Amino acid sequence: MAPASVKPNSAGAATSTATVSAVSSSKVPPIARPLAGEPEEVASNINYHAQFSPHFSPFKFEPEQAYFATAESVRDRLIQQWNETYVHYHKEDPKQTYYLSMEYLQGRALTNAIGNLDIQDAYGEALNQLGHQLEDIVEQEKDAALGNGGLGRLASCFLDSMATLNLPAWGYGLRYRYGLFKQRITKEGQEEIAEDWLEKFSPWEIVRHDVVFPVRFFGHVEVNPDGSRKWVGGDIVQALAYDVPIPGYKTKNTISLRLWEARASSDDFNLFLFNDGQYESASQLHSRAQQICAVLYPGDATENGKLLRLKQQFFLCSASLQDIILRFKERKNESGSWNWSEFSSKVAVQLNDTHPTLAIPELMRLLLDNEGLGWDEAWDVTTRTVAYTNHTVLPEALEKWSQSVMWKLLPRHMEIIEEIDKRFITMIRTTRPDLESKLPSMCILDNNPQKPVVRMANLCVVSSHKVNGVAQLHSDILKAELFADYVSIWPKKFQNKTNGITPRRWLRFCSPELSNIITKWLKTDQWVTNLDLLVGLREFAENADLQAEWSSAKMANKQRLAQYILRETGVSIDPNSLFDIQVKRIHEYKRQLMNILGAIYRYKKLKEMSAEERKKTTPRTIMFGGKAFATYTNAKRIVKLVNDVGTVVNTDPEVNSYLKVVFVPNYNVSVAEMLIPGSELSQHISTAGMEASGTSNMKFALNGCLIIGTLDGANVEIREEIGEENFFLFGATADEVPRLRKERENGLFKPDPRFEEAKMYIRSGAFGSYDYNPLLESLEGNSGYGRGDYFLVGHDFPSYMDAQERVDEAYKDRKRWLRMSILSTAGSGKFSSDRTISQYAKEIWNIEECRVP
């Protein structure tokens, strides 16, 4: 923890904030007031938790202690609303949605909870009475390390919208102890260390000791005399539920994110072996259980790594479905007679990508083997219940699991998958003989003798009642290319649901200055739950008063960001320069490499200019952020290159008033909440057709940041909504990409001189002695593994540089830039996750509002 700051007292001596707060808290009576609304009562409740729910030594009330006590005070209110919500759901018995996702990127809970509950003022004043500032206390919270990129953040936005729209829904995920990793930047580049969010504890989760389910791995299948089958033997671990409350905005409804932790029981601890000195052998199952929820996406280069990933996926699916089925049976037993055909009228299961695909064979197994249903009835229940969201067209991300690993870990599920596949093939042969030649790519099991695999996306498409993409372009590509043959069988199965973001976290709470201006000019704050109202800003886009207020709000955010960058990286940046930001997972298709090559070319040109010429340029601060997967070598080389370029550029006295390059370490939700409000240009420059949607593009646009980008993912729809004149477009289109790759293979590509110059400058050693040849060679040659510029960086580079010149010119005209910025926010109404979730609820889940009175 940072040392307590020192404030001079009236006598000129110094007292620490810790002393001040300890004295202040001693004046506030510690009284339990769980539903407190007034600041004095809230202060008493916080102090009550500090003293009677203690986690630290007594007599300490420093920011860390104050954070935990404050969180527990807020949690009191959440628990009350949570209980009311579930009593109401129990009484009304609505159909409910269960959202299965391997990732949730929640961000800090404190600001979100007090914002959604509309009690931030009371808590701010209460903490002042206790000698603390709310801003300081908020900073004590560590982001929950339950996700990585857009997939996990989308799931979290969806939960916020489900609660705000009063929809009966649950999220299910895993309680990862060490997350993906915490990113540290050194001279060598990226270093990965374990996340420490649970090093102490999380005050937001409630362990449910009565919600425990057995999950089996390995073993074998027994056939009973009556022909029924049973999975027996192997290892059994226990899934224990931890619930996290998700409050809606200005509504009583508070729903749950249920996270599973893997445990072994005391019966699995071999006391005899332990006392014999065989300590590791004595607790083998405990150790294996702990591995399941240790890390998000453990490395899968080894057989053990593959087994562990598959264990994680099955553990999530099995525990969640056992829970769902138990809840359904308990409700039905209360109401008397029922049958399984009613299951899908009470339960909707949504698979967030292919990671939870095993929910399909697991639901079948539970219905067939535990509940005694016949195949046809179990299949009917399953296919009416499960829906699937596809998030990628990248071949390596469409999961394919080795059949031998699956048979080893989940033998009964492989029998069920074989049967699903067999029946699907029979159906095609009898009803669609014209598709028989397509069966090798359509069936679920790829029995290639070299590498037999289970194609998880195919299993999802065959078994789900609805399949959706996440942006119009992406859904069109799915229907025209990836899943085209299935579309001809089931045309009504496929839908588009363009992603969205929650306007609460991504504007109302992270940029209060801009939010207040929007509310003032629209004369309402209803836009927070009806984002389409932002269109009302269009009529004021040229208004000098609004532009002045808008500019000062953006400047306040830029200054806050500049202070953060100085604190985190030691680099001083100028808030008067153009803040240009690209933050997302580091991946070759997202083309951070094109961005840094553009920065290198810019640096080289600045070096060649006279002092007078430099003064005419647009000063720019280019910021990067994002994690490279630990085993993704080229992505890690890109991180190193960005840092090496920054080291040279930022210390070059000739140029560093006109250009800075900064890598912001350990990008997460809280860092995004700092970066996005302070941004003016953001880069969404993936190769067209490769980004399913993107959601950071929506967050930037909502905050009045202009986009330089390709016609990819949701960029297409953002450009339509905000106006093409307010979007800096460049690059090949998705339908041109295959032809351009073909031409490259045939040696027809002619590189732009600027592209060659930037690469040569790296090779000259200008940024140090590290060997960047393997990275640069991926952009060179015409074909071959890791060569041939598959992501078309070279092809798009000239139009990218031309677009950047248009950015520089536009930024010089302040009135024009501010108008574009206002129009960007005004056109972002479509991209609320409230709109997305309303569409899922009506068109896929068939669930309705169930508002707590």
Catalytic residue among 182, 584, 587, 795: 584
Sheet architecture: strand order including 96-100: 206-217, 235-247, 254-263, 169-174, 96-100, 347-352, 386-389, 466-469, 494-496
Burial class (CB in 10 A: 0-12, 13-18, 19+), 701: buried
The amino acid at 577: S
CB contact at 8 A, 815 and 548: no
Tokens read off for 325: 């089925």
**529 assigned to active site:** no
CB contact at 8 A, 361 and 417: yes
Catalytic residue among 695, 710, 825, 836: 695
Looking up tokens 């992505």 gives: 635
**695 assigned to active site:** yes
Q: 206 pairs with which residues across the strands? A: 243
Kindly tell me the number of DSSP H helices and DSSP E strands found in the chain.
Answer: 34, 24
Residue 372: Cβ within 10 Å count: 11
Residues 512, 560: Cα–Cα separation, whole Å: 13
Classify strands 169-174 and 254-263 as parallel, antiparallel or unpaired: parallel
Backbone angles phi, psi at 684, to 5 degrees: -130, 85
Residue 488: Cβ within 10 Å count: 12
CB contact at 8 A, 115 and 510: no
Greatest Cα-to-Cα distance within the chain, rounded to the nearest angstrom:
93
Classify strands 347-352 and 386-389 as parallel, antiparallel or unpaired: parallel
Nearest-5° Cα angle at 481, 480 to 484: 65
Catalytic residue among 699, 744, 759, 795: 699
Nearest-5° Cα angle at 689, 686 to 691: 50
Helix (H, G, I), strand (E, B) or coil at 808: helix
Tokens read off for 166: 């009063």
Angle between helices 814-826 and 544-569 in degrees, nearest 10 = 90
The amino acid at 142: K
CB contact at 8 A, 484 and 438: no
Q: Which of 185, 171, 146 is nearest to 624 (CA)?
A: 185
CB contact at 8 A, 529 and 135: no
In order of 107, 145, 569, the CA distances from 196 in angstroms are 14, 8, 21
In order of 18, 81, 263, 281, 283, the CA distances from 278 in angstroms are 48, 49, 21, 6, 9
The amino acid at 672: A
Nearest-5° Cα angle at 81, 75 to 85: 135
Those residues with Cβ within 8 angstroms of residue 194's Cβ, 6 or more apart along the chain or in another chain: 178, 179, 181, 182, 295
**699 assigned to active site:** yes
Backbone angles phi, psi at 710, to 5 degrees: -95, 170
Catalytic residue among 412, 585, 627, 637: 585
**91 assigned to active site:** no
Tokens read off for 124: 């701010």
Q: What is the dihedral of CA 67, 68, 74, 75, to 10 degrees?
A: 160
Phi-psi region of 775 (alpha: psi -120 to 50; beta: other; left: phi over 0): alpha
Catalytic residue among 479, 590, 684, 830: 590
CB contact at 8 A, 662 and 569: yes
Q: Which of 42, 115, 105, 80 is nearest to 253 (CA)?
A: 80
Helix (H, G, I), strand (E, B) or coil at 745: helix
Residues 335, 358: Cα–Cα separation, whole Å: 31
Those residues with Cβ within 8 angstroms of residue 188's Cβ, 6 or more apart along the chain or in another chain: 640
> What residues are annotated to the active site?
391, 584-585, 590, 695, 699
